[in-house]
Amino acid sequence: MSKRVLTTESGAPVADNQNSATAGVGGPILLQDQHLLEKLARFNRERIPERVVHARGSGAYGYFEVTDDVTGYTKADFLGEVGKKTETFIRFSTVADSLGGADAVRDPRGFALKFYTEEGNYDLVGNNTPVFFIKDPIKFPDFIHSQKRDPFTGKQEADNVWDFWAHAPEATHQITWLMGDRGIPASYRHMNGYGSHTYQWTNEAGEAFFVKYHFKTNQGIRSLSGEQAAELVGKDANSHQTDLLQAIERGVNPSWTLYVQVMPAAEAAEYRFNPFDLTKVWPHSDYPLQRVGRLVLDRNPENVFAEVEQAAFSPNNFVPGIGPSPDKMLQGRLFAYADAHRYRLGVNHTLLPVNAPKATTAENYGRDGFMATRNGSRHDKNYEPNSYQGPAQTDAALSAPLAIHGWTGTHEAPAHTKDDDFFQAGELYRLMSAEEKNRLIANIAGGLSQVSREDVIEKNLAHFAAADAEYGKRVAEAVRALRED
């Protein structure tokens, strides 16, 4: 077998990769040492900007298999036949910390899934919680700033975290989730995933339905206490990455069963909760779970940077039969996610192997830009319409149109009969066992007691009391006890 030859970026053979070229023995390095300069310059540019949120993540390939007929609700081809399989790529992540953070921390987990369908890539961007902290994207940058490292101290500050939450009463529901037993998953395999947002499905007849996605783990829910998580972080900061990688390498392929809640579009206006409010759930008693299929992960990426860090998900990547809803947070993310990838990876990030369609071919008139690799030939025009048999529109909408009315302006979301910021948080608290409530109270008090301003503490205590009188009373007592120690 012939020996492989080390080359420069231009393909020229490298004579010596151990010693730099110098002016004589022991002399200064020569500027003409092209291999040295190229090697150092490339090394300086190995890193790209990390994601502002969801920076730390792990990924895997797999497939989605349809197990139940949902063609009455959507014309999406990849969901159109029981038994049909579609290749997928998933990225799990923490939200608030940087790329160098630990896995086993109290934080929501990203659950971003790419379906490589025959009608183009469909991206479903969600979390391991069915709700979120805020309901309007205009508050998102401020929310993330409050959770990230403080500009002065360089670390996450309880004052910032709880001060924002004090002024965002709609966060009470998600806080109750986050501080509860599921706030620190034992691994990515042992948590559920949710689309969180409300999406629209449209069937062949043009009928519209609003849906919520629920991926239920088939490994069972397993979570860590704060003490267990701290111990695990000390042993292996990469615990979730290690677990996912090793499980798939052993052939223990994790899986989830996908269910959806389906709401006929006509029922949305009169539903007791605003169905497009990301801080709310649809109770299963109103809209039961309906099984769709199963997601199986069976292959690890060969290169984490190329396939996990450069993976780009955007909720505006829809396919026929699936579209957006008036969910304001979703509407904001339709722009923000794709724009973040254009900044991090460049306008041609969709040409990278992990992001490019696999079951079809992208046909459009996008050209040029950094790292352009698909610019066409002399026969391909870069405008449309044209007379040269270039790709043309289908005239078939991906989803049903949404009716709108009223005046433009900065409106609050319309109120439904049961809409407030606390009712569902209280419902969640009352569903918990005595032991779960004890741990929830301890987790909240542990953070809230570190806040330096009494008025911020009192505002947060009022939110918990509004959700449930006992809830608020117990948190207040626990905070007081910790501050008196």
Residue 38's contacts (CB-CB under 8 Å, 6 or more residues apart) are: 8, 9
Identify the pLDDT of residue 402: 83
The CA distance from 460 to 169, in Å, is 8
Given the residues 17, 35, 121, 127, select the one marked as catalytic: 127
Separation between Cα atoms, residue 411 and residue 427, nearest integer Å: 28
pLDDT of residue 252: 97
Q: What is the pLDDT of residue 4?
A: 94
DSSP code of residue 387: S
List the pLDDT tens digit at each of the 485 positions of the chain.
789 999 999 999 999 999 999 999 999 999 999 999 999 999 999 999 999 999 999 999 999 999 999 999 999 999 999 999 999 999 999 999 899 999 999 999 999 999 999 999 999 999 999 999 999 999 999 999 999 999 999 999 999 999 999 999 999 999 999 999 999 999 999 999 999 999 999 999 999 999 999 999 999 999 999 999 999 999 999 999 999 999 999 999 999 999 999 999 999 999 999 999 999 999 999 999 999 999 999 999 999 999 999 999 999 999 999 999 999 999 999 999 999 999 999 999 999 999 999 999 888 888 888 888 877 778 888 888 988 888 898 888 888 888 888 888 888 888 898 889 999 999 999 999 999 999 999 999 999 999 999 999 999 999 999 999 999 999 999 999 999 87
Residue 6, C-beta contacts closer than 8 angstroms, at least 6 positions apart: 13, 14, 17
Q: Are 289 and 261 in contact (CB under 8 A)?
A: yes
Mean pLDDT over each residue of the chain, to the nearest integer = 95
Query: Phi/psi of residue 348, each to 5°?
Result: -100, 25
Quote the pTM value.
0.94
Q: Are 85 and 295 in contact (CB under 8 A)?
A: no
Q: Provide the pLDDT for residue 382.
A: 84
Asked if 460 is an active-site residue, the reply is no
Q: What whole-number distance in Å separates Cα of residue 333 and Cα of residue 316?
A: 8
**Secondary structure class of 113 (helix, strand, coil):** strand
> In a 10 Å sphere around its CB, with 0-12 CB exposed, 13-18 middle and 19+ buried, how is residue 431 labelled?
exposed
Active site residue 416: no
- Look up tokens 């109750």; give the residue: 176
Residues 6+ apart with CB under 8 A from 161: 146, 147, 447
Query: Model confidence over 426-483: pLDDT tens digits?
Result: 999 999 999 999 999 999 999 999 999 999 999 999 999 999 999 999 999 999 999 9
Token duo for residue 364: 């459009």
Let me know the angle formed at the C-alpha of 90 by 88 and 93, rounded to the nearest 5 degrees. Answer: 175
Q: Please state, in angstroms and rounded to a whole number, the distance separating the CA atoms of residues 339 and 332.
A: 11
pLDDT value at position 403? 83
Instruction: Give me the percent of the chain exceeding a pLDDT of 90.
Output: 87
Question: CA–CA separation, 9 vs 303, rounded Å?
Answer: 20
106/109 Cα distance (integer angstroms) = 9
Q: Quick: pLDDT tens for 151-169.
A: 999 999 999 999 999 999 9
